[in-house]
Chain A
Amino acid sequence: MLKTPIYLDNNATTPMDPRVLEEMLPFFNESFGNAASRNHSFGWTAEEAVDYARERVAKLINSSPKEIIFTSGATESDNLAIKGVFEMYAAKGNHIITVATEHKAVLDSCKHVEKLGAQVTYLTPSADGLVSIEQIKEAIRPETILITIMYGNNEIGVVQPMQEISALARANNILLHTDATQAVGKIPVDVEADGIDLMSFSAHKMYGPKGVGALYVRRKNPRVKVTAQMDGGGHERGMRSGTLNVPGIVGFGKACELCMNEMESEARRLSAMRDRLEAELLTMEESYVNGNRNHRLPHVSNISFKYVEGEGLMMGVKDIAVSSGSACTSASLEPSYVLKSLGLDDDLAHSSLRFGLGRFTTDEEVDYAINHVKTAVNKLREMSPLWEMFKDGIDLKSVEWQEH
């Protein structure tokens, strides 16, 4: 018997792997020491655990352990990278290049530094969500200090051409930051091969605990520095003060190790499952996949169902936990800014669902989701005057609507 609702929102967060939890537990009460305590064994034990976790995290992204700065999560890492680079490299320039489909942690950090004098270029991706090298090239100025582009998008899963972007950044002596929260642990991310200078990622998107993440900061070729945004004891090479979250970091390390060992088989399993889900849902007319289907994360699918309304659709698929393209603010529904950036009309943006499969998703659950979504969409279309008009061959754009 299936337990509903079925969780298909693994881009929002993932359940913790029991193997991760197991490793964390002793660090709450038995080995509770402060990793910065240098005078006794409690501190040494904690420090040792953190060092081991740092190695595991570094190994997953092919960096040196010294290049890992532990934070509270990817939002903090994004803030530290963007604000920290802007402050540290102020003498070099004040221009930052980013993309309109970035996470709010990046966009709002950019907005923040704009108020402090930064110039920010927000590139619009093409309709499939990819940015082109030409676009970035055109945006580069002599005073450009940072390019910040997401590795894999959280809403549509599109993976950007990081190696080409980094080659361009290198050639122009510009730092490259990437928010790789959705990509690390899901697809191979290699800071050396990919030429990344700063990278944000988080434990809870890869079956680790919430409240812990990291910023990778390159130490050579070039040596990158960021101005700390948190003042205090000078932890994490002075870039991020604050007592380390030892149990969280231990869990993060274990989660990284599991991803390292299981990524390949997991990605194969999830992409097969995702492709099946997608193929089944696309058998319904007027259903569209959002974002490039060749360059994307293995576990994500974002589909719009035309002629049904987003909120009604969410109500109809209450047995599955998914995200919708409508961000429900207090009074009104706002279509997703990511989908809007791809040029989608409001109605298609509203009626989209994001499916995020994960390590614990089963074939049975996917079957259930397929039937559940099909039933809801068909039912709402039977009830939709717009669907009837479409079926009668009426061009909806030619109708004079009585707007309210």
Chain B
Amino acid sequence: MAYSDKVIDHYSNPRNVGTLNKDSNNVGTGLVGAPECGDVMRLQIQVNEETGLIEDAKFKTFGCGSAIASSSLATEWLKGKSIDDAMKIDNMDIVEELALPPVKIHCSVLAEDAIKTAINDYRKKQGLPEIH
């Protein structure tokens, strides 16, 4: 299968690989996918409690090049965004940016899911209701 240059770039030089303290009150973690499906993404955000902006984002992904690229791109986009703006990230934006073929759209869906799960994990810690 041919990968786009952007997928290859993110796969070869993934941005923001790592782990944030999942027990910290201002960190939200989203773990989505399943090993037997061949994709597991863990995306974490760290929110600055004064500004309300996402000041750091990290990921680790078990999956194909497109899944790695989707989550790497997501962390890039998340940094500096407010929670409200982060909620607006749509999987089709990822598809477009990475030129994902139809068989890889599920990777972008997984990344969007990981973002929303991470945000809701953070909101839960803050005593806020989940948003969708």
Residues of A at under 8 Å CB distance from B? 307-312, 315-316, 328, 330-333, 345-347, 350, 380, 382-388, 396, 401-404
Contacts and interface: CB of A to CB of B under 8 A. Distances in A.
B103 A401 contact: no
Contacts of B1: 328
Given A311-B65, A312-B65, A404-B109, A383 B60 contact: yes
A401 B106 CA distance: 16
Interface string B53-78: 00000001111110110000000000
Given A309-B38, A402-B34, A384 B103 contact: no
A350 B60 contact: no
B32 to A, nearest CB: 5
Given A330-B103, A386-B40, A404-B109, A396 B65 contact: no
A392 to B, nearest CB: 10
Interface string B16-57: 010100000000000111111111111000000000000000
B106 A404 contact: yes
7 contacts: A312-B63, A315-B64, A345-B36, A384-B61, A401-B33, A402-B32, A404-B110
Per DSSP, chain B at the interface is mixed
Interface of B: 1, 3, 11, 14, 17, 19, 31-42, 60-65, 67-68, 103, 106, 109-110, 113, 117
Contacts of A403: 33-34, 36-37
A347 B63 CA distance: 11
The list of the 6 closest CB pairs from A to B, nearest first, reads: A401-B34, A311-B64, A385-B42, A385-B60, A384-B62, A315-B65
A309 B39 contact: yes
B115 to A, nearest CB: 14
A385 B37 contact: no
Nearest to B3: A315
A309 B109 CA distance: 18
Nearest to A402: B32
